[in-house]
Structure 1
């Protein structure tokens, strides 16, 4: 059951990435992040209301509330860097870097949840890292060696990496809570924290004027991307509640295959020959990682 839910969530996330990339092209990353997560919050609230699960609030213990607060705070920062990275880089390389979430989740799950690391997972990790590096062009690889990457035009690489690490931390915090509370209920409160913090960051950056600069077409893609992301995240949190975090995050990251294919069609992004080899290696690594679980 949880495997099916994870796969469906992947389809939604794959589409949402492309829609968000199109929308964010001529929009501010902070606006996109705040609006997208506001829609995500509405998705969780609506699902919880529809299923009548809010009566479980009385069963939520102290650890659940701590988990919600901690994961929400970490996830809010992850989303900031996610949209900064998505706006700055190509979809293919951005998602390749995001796939490192699998590696970070593996380590964190092994340390804190005592999930086992197998030989297949180790080999898959090497393939994922190697594939990611091969997908980068010369300028991007050069930026990695530059100690001042934060100040360069390629700093989106660092943003994407930070986002991946923080997202992994947040997901493992969620998984560590064993309380039998419906995920749409806990995610509602988690995303209240995320949305509040993102809007605080938005106003602290004095981005209010950027609303007027966003064209209606951009708003359409931003909102469509947010809706698809909302559906995907509702499902992935449900899967996390039911199944193994490392496996779910592996399947979840396979959404990059959909996104990269769509990026060629709608964004006309291209990969060099070594990039396609890296992509194949990356996908094979993700699959091998899942088999290892």
Structure 2
């Protein structure tokens, strides 16, 4: 089932790029990111409150909080740079280059998490890296 959610994530990421490119026209990329963040914050907390999962916050460890905060900072910086790139470039160039994150995540998962990807995963990562450099040049 994981792959269904991953495909849905990819679909909505693609829609994000299209909607964002139209939405940021004539405005600050930083303001656009802030507006988007408020929408995401509202949606995420709405889901947590609806499902009653807010009660689980007491079970969070210091490690959970530290890495969730670091993840939040990384996400915020990613969005800021992504919207700035979208304000300056074409979606057809920015979105694929942004997906270099997939290959970087694979490399970082090997280094920091000790994961051992198979040859298909490594080949896919290599193709993403090559494709990214082709788009940039």
TM-score normalised according to structure 1 size: 0.44
Partner of 2:112: 112
Aligned partner of residue 115 in structure 1, secondary structure = coil
User: What are the within-5 Å matches in structure 2 for residues 81-160 of structure 1?
Assistant: 81-136=81-136, 141=137
Aligned partner of residue 26 in structure 2, secondary structure = coil
Aligned partner of residue 27 in structure 1, secondary structure = coil
TM-superposition CA deviations, 1:200-245 (whole Å, max 9, x none): xxxxxxxxxxxxxxxxxxxxxxxxxxxxxxxxxxxxxxxxxxxxxx
Partner of 2:69: 69
User: What are the within-5 Å matches in structure 2 for residues 172-251 of structure 1?
Assistant: none
Displacement of 1:73: 1.9
Partner of 1:224: none
Partner of 1:24: 24
User: Is residue 85–residue 94 contact of structure 1 (8 Å, CA) maintained in 2?
Assistant: yes
User: What are the within-5 Å matches in structure 2 for residues 28-47 of structure 1?
Assistant: 28-47=28-47
Displacement of 1:130: 2.3
Displacement of 1:67: 1.2
Q: Structure 1 residue runs of 4+, over 6 Å off? A: none
Displacement of 1:17: 1.2
With CA pairs under 8 Å and 6+ residues apart, which has the higher RCO, 1 or 2? 1
What do you get for the CA RMSD once the two structures are aligned?
Answer: 1.5
User: Is residue 93–residue 132 contact of structure 1 (8 Å, CA) maintained in 2?
Assistant: no
User: Is residue 86–residue 94 contact of structure 2 (8 Å, CA) maintained in 1?
Assistant: yes
- Deviates most, 43-52 or 105-114: 105-114
Gaps of 5+ in 1: 142-293
User: Is residue 96–residue 132 contact of structure 1 (8 Å, CA) maintained in 2?
Assistant: yes
Partner of 2:57: 57
Partner of 2:80: 80
Q: Aligned equivalents of 1:37 and 1:47: distance in 2?
A: 15
Q: Aligned equivalents of 1:39 and 1:129: distance in 2?
A: 32
Aligned residues: 137
User: Is residue 97–residue 135 contact of structure 2 (8 Å, CA) maintained in 1?
Assistant: no
Q: Aligned equivalents of 2:120 and 2:68: distance in 1?
A: 32
User: Is residue 29–residue 83 contact of structure 2 (8 Å, CA) maintained in 1?
Assistant: yes
Aligned partner of residue 40 in structure 2, secondary structure = helix
Gaps of 5+ in 2: none
Q: Aligned equivalents of 2:119 and 2:6: distance in 1?
A: 24
User: Is residue 97–residue 132 contact of structure 2 (8 Å, CA) maintained in 1?
Assistant: yes
Q: Aligned equivalents of 1:12 and 1:124: distance in 2?
A: 21
Displacement of 1:23: 1.1
Return the index of the structure with the highest Cα Rg.
1
